[in-house]
């Protein structure tokens, strides 16, 4: 009888612990969401270079170097890239290299210059205008003097 009681006590307390954990996890998620909303609102107009750098490191650097050297897949080094293209061009290229290269001569020539016949993929992250703004802000910092 006593061991039943102990088991019950154990179950009850672990149940209670789980409920407390769940509540605090929910509170964490709610406050994280609040922070995210604040960040989005604050960042709307100001490009976030640090976020752009993060995007570069996690996505673009798989194929691109941040210096002048062409990578192993034939992706140009992105140093001084703003001297080669303006922002409006970059927005369109980043949003959809494949589609854009069908209607823009510069983009088409770029694709045709790839030694392996590769086209930069259309990236889901680059469908977001804010992400494009941030990565372009970071690309601007890649300037040699
Ligand atoms: C899977 C490989 C790959 C990834 C990932 C990739 N690119 Fe590219 N990118 C290329 C290739 C290859 C080219 C050259 C044109 C072509 O062949 O399509 C290119 C061309 C470019 C150009 C034109 C460069 C020039 O000198 O004219 C820019 C700008 C660019 N990419 C930016 C980016 C950014 C920013 C990211 C990350 C958000 C990115 N790319 C991710 C492969 C990639």
DSSP label of 44: T
Same domain, 40 and 68: no
Instruction: Assess whether pLDDT exceeds 80 at residue 37.
Output: no
Residue from 138, 142, 140, 116 nearest 51 by CA: 138
Structure tokens at 18: 């789980």
Q: Which of 97, 130, 143 to mutate to test the pocket of ligand 1 (most atoms within 8 A of CB)?
A: 97
> What's the pTM?
0.77
Do both 37 and 97 map to the same domain?
no
132 lines ligand 1 (CB under 6 A): no
**For the chain, what percent of residues have pLDDT higher than 90?**
68
Whether ligand 1 lies within 6 angstroms of the CB of 110 is answered as yes
For position 107, what pLDDT does the model report?
Answer: 98
Tell me, using a 6 A CB cutoff, whether residue 97 lines ligand 1: yes
Clarify whether residues 113 and 52 are in a common domain.
yes
Counted domains in the chain = 2
pLDDT at 83: 97
23: confidence class by pLDDT, cuts 50, 70, 90: very low
Residue-level pLDDT at 20: 45
My answer on whether 39 and 96 are in the same domain is no
- DSSP, collapsed to helix, strand or coil, labels residue 1 as coil
Domain residue limits at 118: 48-145
Atom of ligand 1 nearest to the CA of 123: 38
More confident residue, 34 or 79: 79
Q: Residue 70 pLDDT more than 50?
A: yes
The pLDDT of residue 130: 97
CA 90, CA 54: separation in Å to the nearest integer?
18
With a 6 Å cutoff on the Cβ, whether 111 touches ligand 1 is yes
- Summarised one tens digit per residue, pLDDT across range 104-141 is 999 999 999 999 999 999 999 999 999 999 999 999 99
**Is residue 34 located within the same domain as residue 97?**
no
Amino acid 145: pLDDT: 80
Query: Among 76, 107, 124, 135, which is best to mutate for testing ligand 1, by the most ligand atoms less than 8 A from CB?
Result: 76
Question: Are 97 and 54 in a shared domain?
Answer: yes
Domain check: are 67 and 94 in the same one?
yes
Statement to judge: residues 11 and 72 lie in one domain = no
Q: Is the pLDDT of residue 55 over 90?
A: yes
How many residues does this entry show for the chain? 145
């Amino acid at each position: 009888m006593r061991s039943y009681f102990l088991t019950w006590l154990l179950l009850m307390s672990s149940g209670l612990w789980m409920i407390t954990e769940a509540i605090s996890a929910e509170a964490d998620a709610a406050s994280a969401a609040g922070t995210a909303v604040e960040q989005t609102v604050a960042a709307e107009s100001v490009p976030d270079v640090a976020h752009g750098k993060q995007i570069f490191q996690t996505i673009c650097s798989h194929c691109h170097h941040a210096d002048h050297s062409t990578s192993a897949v034939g992706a140009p080094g992105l140093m001084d890239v703003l001297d080669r293209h303006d922002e409006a061009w970059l927005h369109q290229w980043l949003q959809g290299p494949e589609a854009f290269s069908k209607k823009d001569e510069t983009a088409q020539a770029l694709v045709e210059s790839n030694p392996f016949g590769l086209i930069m993929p259309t990236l889901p992250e680059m469908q977001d205008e804010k992400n494009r703004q941030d990565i372009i802000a970071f690309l601007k910092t890649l300037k040699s003097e």
